[in-house]
Amino acid sequence: MSLLELNAVNKIYNPGSTHAVHAVQNLDLSVEKGEIVALLGSSGCGKTSTLRMIAGFEEASSGQMAINGKEINRLPPAKRGVAMAFEGYSLYPPLSIRENIAFALKAEKMPAAEVNKQVEAIAALLEISDLLDKRPNAISGGQQQRASLGRALIRKADLHVLDEPMGQLEPQLRALLRGRIKHYIKQHNLTAILVTHDQTEANALADRIAVMEGGVLQQFDTPENLKNKPANIFTGAFIGEPPMNLFEAGAALNDTEIHLRLGDDVNLEFPKARFSPELIERVLTNKSVVVGIRPHSVHLAETGLPAEVYANQWLGDQTHVAARFAGKSIVSVAHDRVRCGPGEQVNVQINPEDLHIFDPATGAALSHGRVLA
Amino acid sequence: MSYLDLSNIRKSFESETVLDGISLTVPEGGTLVLFGKSGAGKTVLLRTIAGAIDPDGGTVAIGGQDMTSVPPEHRGIGMAFQNFALFPHMSAFDNIASSLTSRRMSASEIKRKVQDVAELLKIDHVLTHTPKALSNGQKQRTALARALVSEPKVLLLDDPLRNVDAKLRFEMRLELPRLLADRGATVVYVTQDYKEAMALGERIAVLDQGKIVQIGSPEDIYKRPANTEIAQLFGDPTVNLLDVVPQEDERGLHAFLSDQRVDFHGDFPGVAGRDCIVGLRPEALSFTQNGGFPVTIEAITPFNEKTVTLVTTLRGREILVSQPAQSAVPEGPEQNITISAQDAILFDRQTGKRLEPVTTGERVEEAA
């Protein structure tokens, strides 16, 4: 039994009217105990509606939602065993930050000394120790967000529901706090579901990510699988920074090689033996395909296919090189510094194991590397 | 040769000093990035160059001519802003053409110029649309086209990519330098995004409280930041800052992080025994099987094509380690990490300023 289970959940706003919006469509989702799950997507994708249904701020139009096997559809928010940090679910203005964070623990009749100890610990973790005696309106938005996160994380609950928990955090604190928060959640064996539009945050924190678009779950998988085995063009292009290079291509085969023709002038040739026979058949029956290559898999080498550089940007810990290729642009990312300037010719190498091939009609992935999707 | 020349610009509003003696130059056709947090004075400085704000003191010279008291429209400047500032009732075409209409130019010439710049910016298919019908990316390109169409000698861009989505921001970041170089304009570019600053700027001026605190190439600023604050503003994940008290022996100035000796090459007179901070970029640290010093892994957070790991030392100091994603994070919580010593940056703890060796000694600088 999963800790949280959503079964064919729908959310329709203004049902039956001319401006009905089907915000969440037939969503199946399960979260295991001790897991961190992120709902990721751009605005309007349905992630926040989903979170609000789980928390009890919205009613599901249809479908079942259960926590520990018990249906929660009709339970009020307070009865669901859920601790929340929501943007609109703000701190109590008349209480100090300390009182805000301690509120739920006091209600549980925890001894004052223990409450204090736990509040101090979570405040230190979130770098708000020196703000504990201030009122919410005396601190910045980013600090309020941390306080609200602390108030949720300190509670004992079956499920922690976090809405854009780090959206307003000061950039210098983000990487450190992500590490600390993940450690805290794992150490306390909490189960958390969080909503974010920031894939960096989702990748850093979550064990599994549910990618949503247009109210539809696109893929629910580990960060690694989202990167290496995107289910469709949408996920492939959405996950990864810089985004995946995508090219329309024609596939053909001769006795020894498989050919992928990109644009008018680029021919990618790979020995047949590098792919499984099923893959070759599947790709060739499609003839026209979409080829995706992650920027980190585009190698600039001594030999390869020619491309003309138009930008070379060093960002301290990585270099982005953009070049004209197959009538479009191709981006290559290296961890080290790359020496080539605008106007220079470079050679692009792409390995067969780094190819993602998609069906242009449905967008579904056909293959990843040498194997079928 | 410098084309834009600012000398000792000062500006106060009420009693608040916003620009505190700014001097800088930009060569003809060059790009200077103004980087700083909000409130640092970037926009005020840009508006002073444009002539929309009169400085209390100092001079603005363009092409060798003092422009300090020349009205904005005669300075030969084009501007684009983060909020686009398009005329809502006018089509994209008319918006772009609006910066040409004050000149005596035939309708066909205006049309040709607008068409050219629109093609360059890939908005030629939406020229009849009003701003309401444009996406944010198209609005941003329209605003940029309006700034470019009059072929200004100086182009001022105030955080132009701020309000466009991440994907377009990335594409524009790659395209902009080429586009600006092709137009030959001298550019001042304001941003709060360090990646944009490093990608666009041959030179970056870091502003803080109305003063330039550092000016240099992306490499200068990333590898030799003037103070701990600048070190923290450039880089994601952020630089690790650890308190140390360096000592000196026959091998020179060094500090110990747990068991690992970190050497600072060159002469640092008077630094031994002083309270210092060592700055270590997360990518300058790596897991090792031999040597280094022991740490405990607290959390592993994948970060694009990198894996960022939060570890603590035996003394409980937190350190972020960043590695390429394909290099596996070792199994188990107890590990050793090692420091690539040439990447250690030394700061004075009292002032936060970077400590520079008197002579570069045996320190080998990477060729630019």
Asked whether the beta carbons of A149 and A84 are under 8 A apart, the reply is no
Judge if B109 and B8 occupy the same domain: yes
Grade residue B362 by pLDDT with cuts at 50, 70 and 90. Answer: very low
The answer to whether residue B368 scores a pLDDT higher than 70 is no
Best A205, A244, A315 member to test B by mutation, with max B CBs in 10 Å, is A315
pLDDT tens readout for residues A106-121:
888 899 999 999 999 9
SS3 label, residue A255: coil
Taking an 8 Å cut-off on Cβ atoms, the answer to whether A175 and B173 are in contact is: no
Taking an 8 Å cut-off on Cβ atoms, the answer to whether A335 and B324 are in contact is: yes
Grade residue B363 by pLDDT with cuts at 50, 70 and 90. Answer: very low
Mean local confidence (pLDDT), B136-147: 89
Taking an 8 Å cut-off on Cβ atoms, the answer to whether A317 and B199 are in contact is: no
Taking an 8 Å cut-off on Cβ atoms, the answer to whether A203 and B237 are in contact is: no
Q: What does the domain layout of chain A look like in residue ranges?
A: 4-230, 238-372
Judge if B208 and B251 occupy the same domain: no
Taking an 8 Å cut-off on Cβ atoms, the answer to whether A240 and B304 are in contact is: yes
Amino acid at the residue B65: Q
**Nearest by CB: B305 against A183, A243, A333:** A333
pLDDT tens readout for residues B232-265:
999 999 999 999 999 999 999 999 988 789 999 8
Mean local confidence (pLDDT), B130-155: 90
Domains held by chain B: number? 2
Collect all residues of chain B within an 8 Å Cβ-Cβ radius of residue A176. Answer: 237-238, 310, 318, 320
Judge if B312 and B213 occupy the same domain: no
Taking an 8 Å cut-off on Cβ atoms, the answer to whether A342 and B309 are in contact is: no
The answer to whether residue B364 is domain-embedded is no
Backbone angles phi, psi at A142, to 5 degrees: -65, -35
The answer to whether residue B356 is domain-embedded is no
Mean local confidence (pLDDT), A345-356: 95
Query: What tokens appear for A92 in the block?
Result: 């109590």
Collect all residues of chain A within an 8 Å Cβ-Cβ radius of residue B309. Answer: 179
**Nearest by CB: B178 against A240, A243, A342:** A342
Judge if B210 and B259 occupy the same domain: no
pLDDT tens readout for residues B187-202:
999 999 999 999 997 8
Taking an 8 Å cut-off on Cβ atoms, the answer to whether B174 and A320 are in contact is: yes
Query: What tokens appear for A260 in the block?
Result: 């992928």
Give the mean pLDDT of chain A.
94
Grade residue B360 by pLDDT with cuts at 50, 70 and 90. Answer: low
**How far is residue B174's CA from residue B258's CA, in Å, rounded to a whole number?**
42
Judge if B215 and B261 occupy the same domain: no
Query: What tokens appear for B317 in the block?
Result: 């100091």
Choose the final residue of a domain: B200, B226, B252: B226
Query: For residue B51, what is the domain's CATH number?
Result: 3.40.50.300
Taking an 8 Å cut-off on Cβ atoms, the answer to whether B232 and A172 are in contact is: yes
pLDDT at position A274? 87
Amino acid at the residue A343: G
The answer to whether residue B359 scores a pLDDT higher than 80 is no
The DSSP code for A86 is -
The answer to whether residue B150 is domain-embedded is yes
Q: What's the domain range around B47?
A: 2-226
pLDDT tens readout for residues A19-28:
999 999 999 9
Name residue B150's beta-bridge partners.
none
Judge if B185 and B68 occupy the same domain: yes
Mean local confidence (pLDDT), B19-30: 96
Query: For residue B342, what is the domain's CATH number?
Result: 2.40.50.140
The DSSP code for B209 is T
Choose the final residue of a domain: B180, B202, B226: B226
Residue B103 vs residue A68, higher pLDDT? A68
Query: What tokens appear for B153 in the block?
Result: 């000698």
CATH number of A4-230: 3.40.50.300
How close A76 gets to chain B, by Cα (Å)? 35
Judge if B220 and B268 occupy the same domain: no
Mean local confidence (pLDDT), B8-18: 94
Asked whether the beta carbons of B57 and B34 are under 8 A apart, the reply is no
Judge if B269 and B208 occupy the same domain: no
pLDDT tens readout for residues A58-86:
999 999 999 999 999 999 999 999 999 98
Judge if B52 and B92 occupy the same domain: yes
**Nearest by CB: B304 against A178, A183, A200:** A200
The answer to whether residue B355 is domain-embedded is no
CATH fold of the domain at A238-372: OB fold (Dihydrolipoamide Acetyltransferase, E2P) (2.40.50)
pLDDT tens readout for residues A189-203:
999 999 999 999 999
The answer to whether residue A5 scores a pLDDT higher than 60 is yes
**How far is residue A291's CA from residue A263's CA, in Å, rounded to a whole number?**
11
Give the mean pLDDT of chain B.
90
pLDDT tens readout for residues A272-321:
888 888 888 888 777 899 999 999 999 999 899 999 999 999 999 999 99
How close B12 gets to chain A, by Cα (Å)? 26
**How far is residue A235's CA from residue A373's CA, in Å, rounded to a whole number?**
14
Mean local confidence (pLDDT), B50-60: 95
Asked whether the beta carbons of A269 and A349 are under 8 A apart, the reply is no
The answer to whether residue B78 is domain-embedded is yes
Backbone CA torsion sign across A237, A240, A242, A247: negative
Collect all residues of chain B within an 8 Å Cβ-Cβ radius of residue A244. Answer: none
Q: What is the pTM of this model?
A: 0.90
Taking an 8 Å cut-off on Cβ atoms, the answer to whether B170 and A241 are in contact is: yes
Grade residue A137 by pLDDT with cuts at 50, 70 and 90. Answer: very high
The answer to whether residue B336 scores a pLDDT higher than 80 is yes
The answer to whether residue B106 is domain-embedded is yes
Which residue on chain A is closest to B229 by alpha carbon?
Answer: A172
**How far is residue B177's CA from residue A284's CA, in Å, rounded to a whole number?**
41
Residue B327 vs residue B335, higher pLDDT? B335
Here the ipTM equals 0.90
Mean local confidence (pLDDT), B306-324: 93
**How far is residue B93's CA from residue B118's CA, in Å, rounded to a whole number?**
9
Judge if B131 and B21 occupy the same domain: yes
Judge if B111 and B214 occupy the same domain: yes
pLDDT tens readout for residues B166-220:
888 898 899 888 888 888 899 999 999 999 999 997 899 999 999 999 999 999 9
